[in-house]
Every structure is written in structure tokens, then in C-alpha cells.
A and B are shown apart, each in its own frame.
Chain A
């Protein structure tokens, strides 16, 4: 802009020069005037200027001009090169003569000035004032348009420039348009700075352009006015602070905040809220920050802190908020025709508090009355009151809302009579001295004389639903209102409450008043009680039952019932039964009468209920089953033609500890079915219903019906026992289930059985999934036993018996039964083996008998020949065989049972006698018995069986004859026994027994002693028939412990000579085996054998 304007100036100047060149007819001689220029500042006069080319001094100039319509020339003498002449309509001829200081003419020049050659440049405007408003950062510029010199209605354009800072930076340039009014007018222009005016100095200048429409020449902008300035705080010697101070701006604004400080200070930082902002340098004493799009500040505003050097600090608070929201839902109403209460929702909070908060005022346009509203900030809904004006029904409200950022309003036109919201009715009272009517009174605070009120009374009682009763009444002035309520029920506790509204133009109900209670008075019962009667089983008395009246029928508290019995208008009996009894009994004998029952309360008696006692005989009364239906029991009957006055279904609980409570229900004659419902009905309980028909002459029992409200599974299974068991069948018997346990109509039994032991942990049969489970379903209820066939003998069976109804299956009763054994089979099984054995015995006996000679020869020859003896052969063979084949024959050592059989008849052998010794004699008798008894010595060398064999002959034969020889083997060899056994052994050793002869031990000393063996054979006095090798070898196998066997075998515990091998004398003592040999293993022994 700056550049543009200077360019314009240059251009204008050039044009001016050009025109003057054109205008002046330059002669070019020295001292001659030239470059005549004429400029108009207003439309009346123009200023003509010229140059003089001569540099010499000149005196006066004669300026003469003539216009076309003013023939005599006008001459003006001047010493300047400038004259002011009036503006002529036509062209002007000018003659300028310059004279020397002495009066001589230098030169004369003539110019012709045409209209178009004249320029129009307005006078430079002057700023009258530049006034700052620091609080709003606004500059106000005032100047005069100088319009008096111009004709009316010219357009004037004013160019204003605002500059800032010491460097005069252009901030803005605006063009302001005005119309000239042929008067001097003061023009004013406001500019709001985006930066507080305190921050730095601001400057303003102005120029103008007047659009003179009928001017044909050149028109131009005026010169710029002198600069007018507003100094910032940074120019004041003690000026400091943060600006703007305590300003309110709208959310989203851009704000510039500056900090002005002393010359010797520096700004360390500037913070806006918690954030540090970059500084914008304004001057040596002022810097600013720019906050773009400011967000809403906290309750106490946003702090801007300017931290200076030397720990100084300054700041300001910026309040950023919203302009007030337009009030929503503005609504005005009156509750008492004294005050109009207007409410509205404020909408979005402004975010401004305290003195900057949003303020409300209520203006009523018709009356022009204005009230300011004190609103509670905490309340979301705002309320403002306006007084009701006399004789004014319609109100035009405008709610004005304003805060420092903006303002808004909301309007509402109301007819007050249509906006009545009465206050809550107070002081509600109920009065009444009747059983059906009451009066209600209440008070409403307010003046409603102009309208009618509609009040609603809510009537509620414990046993009926709420009712609303509307009453319309003329409004009063702070008055009490009354309403009457009719058709209430006697002896009923009612709760009343009231609310009201305007009747003609409903607007809103008031709140409900508090509840008031009232109980109406009693009235006689509305009807007689429902009656039934029953004759006692004996027939002498009649029991009369009646049902209590409902609350609505009783009309009060029933105190008693009057029961009277009439026989053709003759009172037979009269009774008054007090509450709460609902039955009585009268002695009637065999008579019949009409019974009348009347209920009485404090207010009176009910109409009588009558029933005859006559019971017609009935035959062929059938019993049927009823069907459960929903929560009742459905019974039906066929229509009985003689029944004229209805049916009666009477029932009673079929079982239970308490006496049967009679209940009944009456049905009209055309009914043939009914669903009997009772809260007392329980599922699983059997009820018996009796259907009576009412005939003119009396009541007749028509039918018995039993039923359940709901059938349930029986409570338990029938008790059952096993009557009989056989090997393949079981007879089971069970008892009936009591009716109360059935809980339904019994449909059958289920007997399940399967093999099974009694076991507490076993599941029920039905649940076990036993594949062998068999189930028998008994639907014949008369059947009370069942035989289960095809069972296995001597087997445990589990039996489960369950009963079932339509409601389900009872829990099972279980029994465990073991079937009997099959005796025939057992007998056969025993008899057959016995018979076979006997047969075999017989056959064997016969065979033995037939072949006895052969047997004798074979087994018991007269003269036993060892060679021939099969038994011995057998042994020998074995032993021989062993010699070669066996090393570890573990057979019981039969070879040990070599028997020396002596016949008494035979002469004693020499060897035998030789062997006998006196010492031996003494010991002999002991042998037979002690050989075994004294085991500790003899150990067990001799197998019992052998001893037996031996002992028998010894007993048979005389002691002396038997050749029993003891050999103390231990005396032969150093015994190798356990330490504790030693003394005994010694004892034995020292005992009287001595070997009868020296036996070469070599026979026992097995190791490679074949030669010795032979030698010993020769030298020995006695030679057993058996080969010594045989027993030597076999000893290890003899029964007994290894150790003992060992001893027996080789080192000889004392042993009866009745046995055999040790009869062979061992070697000399010195040759006896070393103890080491004893421990020497048999394996060794046998291993060596083959080497022999």
C-alpha cells in the first residue's frame, strides 16, 4: 500500500508536469515565466503556480487573466510565483509579466488555461482526535470532512492507516466512505486492535479523495494527514504489567497477551495456563504471546504469568468462556395468581463465574416491566418470578440473557388463566357420619377467583382398586374447598388424597395432597351366608355349616349367626352362634326342618339363608374319578332331570390329622360340570367330592367323585416280602400302599430284579444299567404276589419293587434274595464219584484176589532175594543211574530205606555177632523209642517212614534178637556242629555207645578214594548189601535241613543201625574227616564223584 501510494504521487506529479508543459506556451527566453499549473482544492478557487527560468533577481510579477465572458483583463501584482484566482466556467487566458527589481519587464508570457487542465486535489484532512479505549483495545479516530466547501452529496473516501511499534509497521489500512453534506461534519471511525493498546504505541493517519462528479480535470487523493499516536505502556517510565487485564474472550478466539516491563529487566518466559508460549518482540520493554483458538478456562480463569529476570513476576487472568446459550423450554405458570414463575433450561454453561456469570432478566413487553433474575447456579433449571399484574391476563415475556461475551433472548406469550398450576392442597380432612357418604375439605393457597378448579379425589381402600373422582368447583381466594363422596362401602377403611388443576384450560395437576384415612360406618350384612347341613351318622343331630361373608358383603364386623329351625312356621330350635365359629349342631331327632341362618353385625341382621334338612335316599351311587385341570379339579356329571334347584358339590379333605373341614359349592340346575378350585387344595392329596342334587323335597346324593389337583409319584413303594424261594424261582408278596402315600391313582407296580449282592454302595437297579435287569410290570392292582421264574440256583438276586401313578414312579423298595441250591444235582455229583471209587475197589480186590500168588511172589516172596527184589532193584537202578546221570537228584531218598531183614530162623551171621558189644547191648532197648525222641542227637537222619518200618519189627521181635547197632559217627570224626550243640554231642560221644568196629572213613572221605573204598570193603567186618556209593551219594537228598543232612550223610549223627549205611564202619579216628570237610559243600562232593 505504502509503495502504491508513493507510486501514485509520482504519477500525479508527472501528469501535472505534463499538463503544465502543454498549458504553457513556452517561449524559452530567460526570465520568462513558464510551467503554469493550476490546482483546485475546492470548487471556487484555484491556485496557479509557475516557474521563472532566470536565475537573476526579479521584482513584481503581473498576473493578468481574462475569461471569455469577462472581457476586461484582471491583473494581480504579486511577488510570489503563485496566485489564487476564481474558478471560471470557460477557459482562461493568462498573461504573466515578470519585472526586474527596478520595474523593467523581463519577459511576458501568455498561457491559455482550459478546464481539463486543472487538477482537483482535496485539502489534507486533519485528525481531530485519536482516542484509545484500553479495556476494549479500541482506537477511536475523529476528523472533519470539511464538507462546507463542497456541494451536497459528494462521495468522499477516506483512507486510514494504522501503524504500530516504534518502527511504524503498518497494521491495517481501510477506506472509509462518507457523503459530504455541504457542512463540516466530524467523522468517527473505530478500530479494535488484536493486541492490547498498552502493549506498544499505535499510530494513525488519514487522507481523502472527493469524487467531484462534474469536474472534468484530474482528481487526486489528498496528502496524508500528520500521524496521530497512542502511546503504549512501554513508553511510560514506570509502565509495566501484563495486558489485557482480566479480559473475557470467547472460546476459540485468538488472543495476544503482552508483558511490559522495566528497562533493566528481561522476560524469562511467559506462560498461558500451564504452557510456555514463544515470545513476540514488540519493543525493548514489551513482548507478547499469541494464543490461538483459546479453550474454555477454569472457574477462576486462565492465568498468564510473565516471569522476569531478578525473580520478578507479573501476570493477568484471562477468562475464556462461551456466549450465553439461548434459554430452552421457557415456560411460565402461576400457582396462586400472585407470582408468575418462569422456568427454563440454561443450555450449555458459559464457563464464566462470579461477576462474569450469565445474567438473566425478564421483560414483560405489554406492561414494559422488567425484573432481573437471581438464579441459583447449582440448579440445572433456572427460575425467575414475575408479579401478576392487575387486569392483565396476557403476558409477553422476553427472557434476556447476557454475559460479557454475548447476549441472547427467548420469548413467550402466555395467557395466565391457561397456565395455572395450583399448589398442593393442604389441610385435607374427612368427615362423615354415614356408612356410604363422606365430606372432604381442603385448602389451596392461592387466589383462583377468575377460574374454575377441577379437583381429583383418589379413593383407595384395602380390598378394592383405586378410584378417581373428579369435582369441578369455582375457584376461591385462599379458601377451603369441599366435596362430597357418595356410594362408599360401609365399614371400609378408605384413603383419600386430592389434587387440583384449572378446570377450563387444563395445564398441570398440582401435587397430591397427603393421604387422609377414614373408615365408614357399619351397615347390616348385604346377604345371608351360604349354608349347608349334614346329618350325623346316627341321624339324631344335624350339623349346619355356613360360609363367612366377604368383607364387602358383611358391611361390618360379624358378631354372631342366628340359626333357627322351623317346621312349618314352628320354631323347633334357635341358636345364636358367636364368631368365629362357622358351624353348629342341633338335635333334631328323626325330624326334618327348614334351617334359617342370619348373620349379624353391630348395624343389623342379614336376610336369612334357608336350607332344608331333608335328605332323599339315593341308590346306586357311583364313584368316579375327577380330572386335574390347571389349579383346580374338574368334575362333571350328567344332567339329572329331577334336580330343580341346583347342584351342590361338597368336599372334604379325604385324609389328614385334623377333622374333615367341609366345603361346598352351589351350581345352578343347568350346570353339568365345574372346576372346583380352592387355595387349600394340595397336589398329591386325594379329595372326595359328593354331588348332591337339590330337589323340591330335599337334597339327594347323586355321585361320588374322587380326584387330585395334581397326581404325584407315590411317596413310597409297597412293603414286600419274599414268601418262597426255590432254586429257580422266588415268590414275592406285597402289601397295599395307604391312600395318603399313593398321592395319585395307583396304576401299577414295577418289579425289577437282577443278580446282585447286597452292597450299600450299589446304585439302584434301575439306574445301574445292569444288562441282566429284568422288569415286570404289574398293572393288575388286585394282584398282590408274583412268582419270578427261571432263576439260577444259589444266586443272590436284588429285587426292587416300585408303585406308580400318573404322576410318576415311587422310590423302590429293595430286597436281596439268594435262591436255593439244586439238591438233586448235588446228590448226583456226590454219588457218581463214590460209585466209581467203590467199583474200582471191587475190581481191584477181585484182581488182587485172582493174582494173589503172583503178587506174593513178586512183592512178598518167602525168601526175599535182594537180587530179585524189585524194590531194591529199583533202588539200585536208580542209584546206578544216578551214578552216571544224576548229580542232583532231589527225590526223597528211597535209597536210604535199605532194609536189613533178618529172619529169626536164620543163624546169625558172624559179622553181626562180632559187631555186638556189651556196650551196645545196654543201649539197644532204648533205640526203638529214643531214636526219634532224642532228635537233638540223632537228628533226622532216618526218615520217619523208615523208622516206622524199623520200629515195627523191633516191637514184634524180642529186643535182644534185633540187631541194632549204633554208630557214633561223631566220635569218628571231629564233629562240626554249632557251638551250643557241642556239649550234647560230647555227651553223646562219651555215652556208652562205641562203634563196634573200626570203619574206614575213607568211604566217607570221598575225594578220590576209590582205592580205599575197595580196601575198606575187604577189611570191614560187616558189609551192607547195598552199595555204599548209593547212600553216600544220596545222603544229601535225605529229608531235613541241609546241614543236618550233611551231618547225617557223611559225618553221621548217631543213627539207628536199623537203618543201613552207617553200619559200615568208618576209618580210624585220625582219618576222620577234618571239620572243614563238614562244611564242605555237597556240590563239591558230587562234583568229585564222577572223577571216581
Chain B
């Protein structure tokens, strides 16, 4: 569904994402290979920093938003079952060992996919929030998350990984209403919001770890080779 939506509305944002990816890859062109290692490392570092910043930002936002949802959503021990409706939100509850067993590419791709979809839902929240203050906070967070998606795309490109098929445009493009069907009632909508925030938190936490690990083990030689293999 998301892919479809992305194709429908992935106009200028898609171009922008492509340009970003291209720019991120530019240092990796063999002629400019001197800066390649540095560029990738910096790009991962920046992505990591952005993830940490988003984690911090989300803490504040989640507090405000859960209070807005009211009890019992703002109760610390509230742990509702994931209703069928909430399943649409990409879950980060993959087994830890399984996750570690994935390749960097797979992990980055999963991250990229997840944030693209989370962003989609988050934009849905933005339009419905009851107070202007909350709308402002959500808008700000969305912009940051958009930056993260672009940033991950940049890292993937610089490492020579292809973007997950069909998600690039969806991620970079504006929210697709068709991608997020409305919940049947307000309560389920609130549950969705709750899970969205919770999953975001888990994803950000795990992404920070991923990028940290990646940062330490970026093999510049591999990067170059792969890029060359891609025909750069």
C-alpha cells in the first residue's frame, strides 16, 4: 500500500531524496576516492547523532502526546495488547539475535522501511492533534524524522547498498492518506498512536545501536569495491 502511495505522490520529494543520495555518493566516485572514507564515516556519525537527537526529542513529545491521549495511555504501566489495527505500525520487536544476525544492508533497509512508514503515520497524527502546541511539536518531529530517513538513504548509498525497492519515493514523499486507513473509532486510533510512539522509541533505540556498530566497522575498501561494482 505504501509503495502505491509513494508512486502516486512521490514527486519532488523523491527527486530530493535522489539528489541527496547522489550527493552522499559523490565523494565515493573513484576520482574523489580520497575523501570517501571520511565522507561515509561522517555520514554515519551524523545519522547516529540525529538518531540520538530524535530519541531525546521523542521523549518529550511522547510525554506530551500521551498526556493528551489521557488516562490510561499516560499511565506508566499501561501496556495494551497490540490490536489488529495496530499491526499496521512496523514492529521493532524482532528477536535480538535474529536482528544481529542480519547483514548491515538488511538492517539498514529495515530501518529505512520502518521509518518511512512510521513517518507516514506520524504525519497522520499531526493533522488530528487537538491543540496547536501539540501540532507544532509533531510537525517539528516529523521534519526531523524526515531528515533521518534521508540520512539513512544517504548512508546506504554511500555504502553502496540499494534502497529498498519502491520505498524511496514513499519515504521522501508527502504522507499518503491511502496508506493509513482511518481507525474504526477514536479509541483504536488512540491505541494506534500509542503503539506508533512506542515503536518509534524502540526503533530509534535500536537504530542508535546499529549506527554505532556500523560506525566502528565501516570498511572503506568494501565501500569502494561495491561502488565500483555498481558502475560509479
Task: State the A residues within 8 Å of B (CB).
Answer: 242, 245-246, 271, 273-274, 297-305, 311-317, 353-354, 377-378
B193 shortest CB reach to chain A, Å: 9
Tell me, in angstroms, the Cα distance from A313 to B186 when the chains sit together: 14
Do the beta carbons of B132 and A300 come within 8 Å of each other? no
Do the beta carbons of B73 and A303 come within 8 Å of each other? yes
3 closest A-B pairs by CB: A299-B130, A317-B186, A353-B130
Complex interface: chain A residues within 8 A of B185 (CB): 245-246, 316-317
Q: Which range holds the interface residue count of chain B?
A: 10 to 19
Do the beta carbons of A246 and B130 come within 8 Å of each other? no
Neighbour of B71 across the interface among A246, A273, A313, A378, CB < 8 A: A273
B68 contacts partner chain A, Cβ-Cβ < 8 Å? yes
Complex interface: chain A residues within 8 A of B72 (CB): 271, 274, 303, 305
Q: A271-B72, A298-B70, A317-B186 are in contact. Are A312 and B131 (CB under 8 A)?
A: no
Do the beta carbons of A316 and B186 come within 8 Å of each other? yes
Tell me, in angstroms, the Cα distance from A546 to B70 when the chains sit together: 85
Complex interface: chain B residues within 8 A of A303 (CB): 69-73, 187, 190
Complex interface: chain A residues within 8 A of B101 (CB): none
Tell me, in angstroms, the Cα distance from A300 to B71 when the chains sit together: 11
Tell me, in angstroms, the Cα distance from A302 to B185 when the chains sit together: 13
Tell me, in angstroms, the Cα distance from A311 to B79 when the chains sit together: 10
Complex interface: chain A residues within 8 A of B191 (CB): 315
Do the beta carbons of A300 and B81 come within 8 Å of each other? no
B186 shortest CB reach to chain A, Å: 4
Neighbour of A300 across the interface among B68, B80, B83, CB < 8 A: B68
Closest to A319 in B: B186
B128 contacts partner chain A, Cβ-Cβ < 8 Å? yes
Neighbour of B70 across the interface among A242, A246, A301, A353, CB < 8 A: A301
Do the beta carbons of A273 and B70 come within 8 Å of each other? yes
Do the beta carbons of A317 and B132 come within 8 Å of each other? no
Neighbour of A312 across the interface among B73, B81, B132, CB < 8 A: B81
The proximity string for B residues 60-85 relative to A, scoring 1 for CB distances below 8 Å and 0 otherwise, is 00000000111111000000110100
Q: A298-B70, A299-B68, A303-B72 are in contact. Are A378 and B128 (CB under 8 A)?
A: no
Q: A299-B130, A354-B128, A354-B130 are in contact. Are A317 and B190 (CB under 8 A)?
A: yes
Q: A353-B130, A354-B128, A378-B132 are in contact. Are A315 and B187 (CB under 8 A)?
A: yes
Closest to B75 in A: A274
B106 shortest CB reach to chain A, Å: 32
Tell me, in angstroms, the Cα distance from A273 to B71 when the chains sit together: 6
Tell me, in angstroms, the Cα distance from A679 to B130 when the chains sit together: 67
Do the beta carbons of A300 and B70 come within 8 Å of each other? yes
Closest to B79 in A: A311
A305 shortest CB reach to chain B, Å: 6
Q: Which of B135-187 contact A (CB under 8 A)?
A: 185-187
Complex interface: chain A residues within 8 A of B70 (CB): 273, 297-298, 300-303
Do the beta carbons of A311 and B186 come within 8 Å of each other? no
A-B contacts besides A246-B186, A314-B187, A315-B191, 13 pairs, CB < 8 Å: A246-B185, A271-B72, A273-B70, A273-B71, A299-B68, A301-B70, A304-B187, A311-B81, A313-B83, A316-B187, A317-B187, A354-B130, A378-B132
Complex interface: chain A residues within 8 A of B83 (CB): 313
Tell me, in angstroms, the Cα distance from A1051 to B131 when the chains sit together: 125
Tell me, in angstroms, the Cα distance from A271 to B80 when the chains sit together: 14
B184 shortest CB reach to chain A, Å: 8
A482 shortest CB reach to chain B, Å: 45
Do the beta carbons of B132 and A242 come within 8 Å of each other? no
Q: A312-B81, A377-B132 are in contact. Are A242 and B68 (CB under 8 A)?
A: no
Do the beta carbons of A299 and B131 come within 8 Å of each other? yes
Complex interface: chain B residues within 8 A of A246 (CB): 185-187
Complex interface: chain B residues within 8 A of A298 (CB): 68, 70
B46 shortest CB reach to chain A, Å: 36
Complex interface: chain B residues within 8 A of A314 (CB): 187
Do the beta carbons of B187 and A300 come within 8 Å of each other? no
Tell me, in angstroms, the Cα distance from A298 to B73 when the chains sit together: 13
Tell me, in angstroms, the Cα distance from A378 to B131 when the chains sit together: 9
Q: Which of B179-205 contact A (CB under 8 A)?
A: 185-187, 190-191
Q: A273-B71, A303-B73, A311-B81 are in contact. Are A242 and B130 (CB under 8 A)?
A: no
Complex interface: chain A residues within 8 A of B128 (CB): 354
B62 shortest CB reach to chain A, Å: 15
B77 shortest CB reach to chain A, Å: 13
Complex interface: chain B residues within 8 A of A315 (CB): 187, 191
Tell me, in angstroms, the Cα distance from A316 to B128 when the chains sit together: 17
Q: Which of B191-232 contact A (CB under 8 A)?
A: 191
Tell me, in angstroms, the Cα distance from A300 to B70 when the chains sit together: 7
Report 6 cross-chain contacts, Cβ distance below 8 Å, ordered by A residue.
Answer: A245-B186, A245-B187, A300-B69, A313-B81, A314-B187, A354-B128
Do the beta carbons of A274 and B71 come within 8 Å of each other? yes
A963 shortest CB reach to chain B, Å: 129
Tell me, in angstroms, the Cα distance from A311 to B131 when the chains sit together: 32
Tell me, in angstroms, the Cα distance from A273 to B73 when the chains sit together: 10
B215 shortest CB reach to chain A, Å: 40
B179 shortest CB reach to chain A, Å: 21
Do the beta carbons of A313 and B80 come within 8 Å of each other? yes
Tell me, in angstroms, the Cα distance from A1025 to B71 when the chains sit together: 135
Complex interface: chain B residues within 8 A of A242 (CB): 187
Complex interface: chain A residues within 8 A of B186 (CB): 245-246, 300-301, 316-317
Closest to A272 in B: B71
Tell me, in angstroms, the Cα distance from A274 to B186 when the chains sit together: 17
Complex interface: chain B residues within 8 A of A273 (CB): 70-71
Complex interface: chain B residues within 8 A of A377 (CB): 132
B125 shortest CB reach to chain A, Å: 11
Complex interface: chain A residues within 8 A of B81 (CB): 311-313
B113 shortest CB reach to chain A, Å: 28
**Most chain A beta carbons < 10 A, residue from B80, B81, B130:** B130
A271 shortest CB reach to chain B, Å: 7
Complex interface: chain A residues within 8 A of B69 (CB): 300, 303
B18 shortest CB reach to chain A, Å: 37
B73 shortest CB reach to chain A, Å: 7
Tell me, in angstroms, the Cα distance from A274 to B73 when the chains sit together: 10
Tell me, in angstroms, the Cα distance from A315 to B72 when the chains sit together: 11
Tell me, in angstroms, the Cα distance from A27 to B179 when the chains sit together: 90
Complex interface: chain A residues within 8 A of B131 (CB): 299, 353
Tell me, in angstroms, the Cα distance from A311 to B132 when the chains sit together: 35
Complex interface: chain B residues within 8 A of A311 (CB): 81
Tell me, in angstroms, the Cα distance from A303 to B72 when the chains sit together: 8
Tell me, in angstroms, the Cα distance from A547 to B20 when the chains sit together: 80
B65 shortest CB reach to chain A, Å: 9
Tell me, in angstroms, the Cα distance from A302 to B68 when the chains sit together: 10
Tell me, in angstroms, the Cα distance from A503 to B71 when the chains sit together: 60
Tell me, in angstroms, the Cα distance from A378 to B81 when the chains sit together: 36
Tell me, in angstroms, the Cα distance from A377 to B185 when the chains sit together: 24
Complex interface: chain B residues within 8 A of A299 (CB): 68, 130-131
**Most chain B beta carbons < 10 A, residue from A316, A317, A377:** A317
Closest to A241 in B: B185
A310 shortest CB reach to chain B, Å: 9
**Most chain A beta carbons < 10 A, residue from B70, B83, B190, B191:** B70
Tell me, in angstroms, the Cα distance from A271 to B71 when the chains sit together: 9
Complex interface: chain B residues within 8 A of A354 (CB): 128, 130
Complex interface: chain B residues within 8 A of A300 (CB): 68-70, 130, 186, 190
B134 shortest CB reach to chain A, Å: 8
Complex interface: chain A residues within 8 A of B190 (CB): 300, 303, 317
A318 shortest CB reach to chain B, Å: 9
Tell me, in angstroms, the Cα distance from A312 to B83 when the chains sit together: 9
Tell me, in angstroms, the Cα distance from A317 to B71 when the chains sit together: 11
Closest to A303 in B: B70
Closest to A353 in B: B130
Complex interface: chain A residues within 8 A of B71 (CB): 271, 273-274, 303
B96 shortest CB reach to chain A, Å: 23
Q: Which of B103-137 contact A (CB under 8 A)?
A: 128, 130-132
Closest to B187 in A: A315
Complex interface: chain A residues within 8 A of B73 (CB): 303
Closest to A317 in B: B186
